[in-house]
Amino acid sequence: MITHSTEIKLFTGNANKPLAEAIAKELKVELGNIEVGHFSDGETSVHIGETVRGRDVFIIQSTSSPVNENLMDLLICIDALRRASAGRITAVMPYFGYARQDRKARPRDPITAKLVADIITSAGADRVLTVDLHAAQIQGFFDIPVDHLEGGNILCQHFVEMLEGKTHDDFVVVSPDVGSVARARKIAQKINCPMAIIDKRRPKANQVEIMNIIGEVKGKTCLLVDDLIDTAGTICQGAEALHANGAKEIFACCTHAVLSGPAIERIEKSPIQKLVILDTINIPQEKRIEKIEILSVARLLAKAIENIYLDKKMSEVYDK
């Protein structure tokens, strides 16, 4: 049990209640009494059923689909807590929606990740706790402290255990595109195995992409690494390219499984044998196919919440 001069309070929105319950179990505390509902016209309704005055409050809410609804729920929960005189409010966002809109890709584009950061700060959050931001620089979009956890360590440990007793020479970590190279390299270093990169090029407009694989994959067990899988186009195309180049086995992993649109169908039909994901986003039962294995970030987030509460250094969350 956590002990501190100020009581901890843990609340959750509707986005990922199973994860919030798992975090509360790890911390050996009860989830706070809060009602997050909606009026008939769609407006969010929030009622906090217990005192939070002076307390250290953590509100757990991923801004996954429906993104705008879950974001609005989070903002109104923060506002309700602030107006109820909470001592400190930490927005625990296992998945930070709008993270892919972190720059102007074309003229007159918005930088929505910065806008969302400003709104969360304006609502009254004192700090943010999140996992594997799509772009690390989003931490700088906030004018409040951001604790950025690495979910990749959980995935890495899973594959280290899978390879126990086997030679690492036949195992290759693969980046599905140039943007994921740094992430793949980090996991390859931890597993102590080589890596490869899939380089996609489109020679001309409306022509099929040509995929070049930089590195040796023939006869190897390959692990495709990404931070986020949305429609699964990139990861499944990458798996097809590895299969065509003689890969023996193909696994894939990611932190955030958005899995929208044709994602499940594509994964089912792909040469991927197993897709290992984290539970930062709640996966509905109909999407929990046999190929998907879910690992939990509950212990990681619980340790991070405890360290914030006790003002301990965040590096300790990775000690075990």
Rounded to 10 degrees, the C-alpha dihedral 97/270/193/230 comes to: -10
> In 3D, which of 60, 74, 63, 70 has the Cα closest to residue 31?
60
Helices (H), the chain: 17-27, 67-83, 112-123, 152-162, 181-191, 233-244, 263-269, 298-309
From the CB of residue 169, how many other CB atoms can be counted at a distance below 10 Å?
Answer: 9
Specify the 3-state DSSP secondary structure of 112: helix
Q: Per 3-state DSSP, what percentage of the chain is helix, strand, and coil (rounded to 5)?
A: 35, 25, 40
- Among the options 200, 218, 274, 320, which is catalytic? 200
Q: How far apart are CA 118 and CA 125, in angstroms?
A: 10
What type of residue sits at position 114? Answer: K
28 labelled catalytic: no
Query: What backbone torsions phi and psi does residue 146 show, to the nearest 5 degrees?
Result: -125, 125
The sheet carrying 88-93 orders its strands as 8-12, 56-60, 88-93, 127-131, 146-149
Pairing of strands 34-38, 44-48: antiparallel
Q: How far apart are CA 110 and CA 11, in angstroms?
A: 32
What residues are annotated to the active site? 200
